[in-house]
Structure 1
Amino acid sequence: MLKIALCDDNKNTITKYAELISELVEKYQLQIEISCFSSGESLFFHYSNIPEQIDIIYLDILMDKTDCMETARKLRDIGCKAQIIFLTSYEDYVYEAFEVNAAQYLIKEDTSKEKFEKVFLKAVEMVSENKEELFSIKFDGKTTVIPISEIAYFEIWNRVITVYYGDGKSAKYYYSIDRLEEEMSGKDFVRVHRSYLVNLSYIEMFRNQNIKLKTGAIIPVGVTYSESLKKTLSNYISRFHIYNTTDINGKEEDL
């Protein structure tokens, strides 16, 4: 489902474009959810708390004398990868739009339904191409959203799972590692120990019942998981044509 945000301080404008988007959704049989905001501040607050919620943002430039180009910059600064489409009556900011990697800059008065439709479909296409699968967890009232590709491994201890991701980051939540293993099936994660689930793309070396990850972490390999790990790793290597690879037979080599 596509998450779309309309941000404008004019209620009539919000209604107009929400209806137009709804028409396009029906025409092209899309599934969407539209959120409406009357200020850049409310949009930024929403996104910074639940970052996975927006795929396409329609953003006016000046609202109540607020420069929403700055809102766009703040969104980019916190990692927002949404397709931003400026929908405004002001031509003066078109060059600044390049700084925030805007998908399009539309002048309300000069934008026909046909042009709006063309830009909308292009944004939908870009979202489909760039959309990265996310992993969401909740712990102590806080929601953490992590791109799956950034997760190096999971570790469980006393029913608490720790997710290690990004540049030395981690997050905790209560869950079953057996259920987690099932959910991550088909996403190139492998169980290497009763307490560890590892992203295959992060494995650098497998030797002496330990694997070394590209992050530098050393993970123990349980005896009962050793053979299945060798087979899974070998299949992964073959699938991606990786050569000069990890030792899967006892010799030390680099991935």
Structure 2
Amino acid sequence: MITIFLCDDNKETLDQYAMMIGQISSRNNIDVSISSFYSGEELLFHLSDFPNQADIIYLDILMRQMNGMDTAKKLRQLGCKSEIIFLTTSEDYVYEAFDIAAVQYLLKSSTPSDKFEQVFLRAVSMVQQKTSDLFICGSGSSRTIIPIKDIAYFEIWKRIVTVHYSKNKSLEFYSTMEQLGMQLAGKNFVRVHRSYLVNLRYITWFHQNSLVLKTGENIPIGVTYMKDVRKTFADYVSAASIHGY
């Protein structure tokens, strides 16, 4: 069951997209539960105690009182890890959507039904992958399981690896950079330095010889890795296709 929340202050819009999602789900044999909310405040109140009730959240941006972007930011502050799709009439907030780690930014007036379906199915796939995308580390009989999406980066020093994850948590274990690379192949990690392996979704900014993560940390980039890191990140952003217009 995929749980979907729709948030828009227009009832006709909510009904329209709920029907579209229902039809797409039926065609693709996806079992869904759809709930509608008429304001950002209502959605936040509903999720205040249990912020991860929804797998996918569709958010309008131009709503009365609290807009959808502010709603999304507060959801993330609450610890909400739902896949968020902005569905709006305004292009003004598209760059802010990167900070939210949104699946897509769609414009109501210029998103054809096949594009809407494509984005929905991608979000469903991302939800389904969450249950299998886990990193297992430890030593001896002790094992720790960490969702890969929560990992910001790995740091290694003489076979001691420190994994940094979930808001300033860290854990040490023994491995090599080569072993890590094989474990994380296809998981959107890039080696930026002989001692660092970084999750692409956490990169926010490049300096001349370093990069800044969403956690605020500054990670050095080795001279021999610079060209490959920039290209890999550019390809990642392009593939994410967050610009829906």
- TM-score, length basis structure 2: 0.54
SS of aligned partner of 2:18: helix
1:200 positional shift? 5.0
Corresponding residue of 1:201: 143
Alignment of 1:104-115 (within 5 A): 104-115=104-115
CA distance in 2, matches of 1:201, 1:131: 18
Deviation at 1:52, TM superposition (A): 3.4
| 8 Å contact kept, 2:52–2:81 | no
- What do residues 137-161 of structure 1 show as CA deviations (whole Å, max 9, x unaligned)? xxxxxxxxxxxx9xxxxxxxxxxxx
| Alpha-carbon distance in structure 1 between the residues aligned to 2:112 and 2:17 | 12
Per the alignment, residue 46 of structure 2 pairs with 46
Distance 1:58 1:120, change over 3 A: same
Q: Report the AA paired with residue 77 of structure 2.
A: D
TM-superposed CA distance for 1:47, in Å, is: 1.5
1:45 and 1:131, CA in 2 relative to 1: closer, same or farther beyond 3 A? Answer: farther
Alignment: residue pair count: 140
Alpha-carbon separation, structure 2, partners of 1:200 and 1:59 = 41
**Residue equivalent to 2:98:** 98
For residues 87-236 of structure 1, the aligned pairs below 5 Å read: 87-131=87-131, 200-201=142-143
Residue 78 of structure 1: how far off its partner (Å): 1.5
CA shift in 2, pair 1:7/1:131, >3 Å = farther
- Secondary structure of 2:122 counterpart: helix
**Cα drift, residue 68 of structure 1:** 1.8
CA distance in 2: counterparts of 1:36 and 1:131, whole angstroms: 25
Please state whether the residue corresponding to 1:44 is helix, strand or coil: helix
Partner of 1:85: 85
Unaligned runs of 5+ in 1: 134-148, 150-198, 203-240, 242-255
TM-score in terms of structure 1 length: 0.52
Q: Which has the higher contact order (CA 8 A, sep 6+)?
A: 2
Deviation at 1:65, TM superposition (A): 4.3
Question: Which structure 2 segments of 5+ residues have no match?
Answer: 145-178, 180-245
- After superposition, the C-alpha distances for 1:10-65 in whole angstroms (9 at most, x for unaligned) are 00000000000000111011111111000001111111223332000000001114
Aligned equivalents of 1:200, 1:40: Cα separation in 2:
43
Task: Look up the equivalent residue of 2:122 and give its one-letter code.
Answer: K
Alpha-carbon distance in 2 for matches of 1:52, 1:200:
28
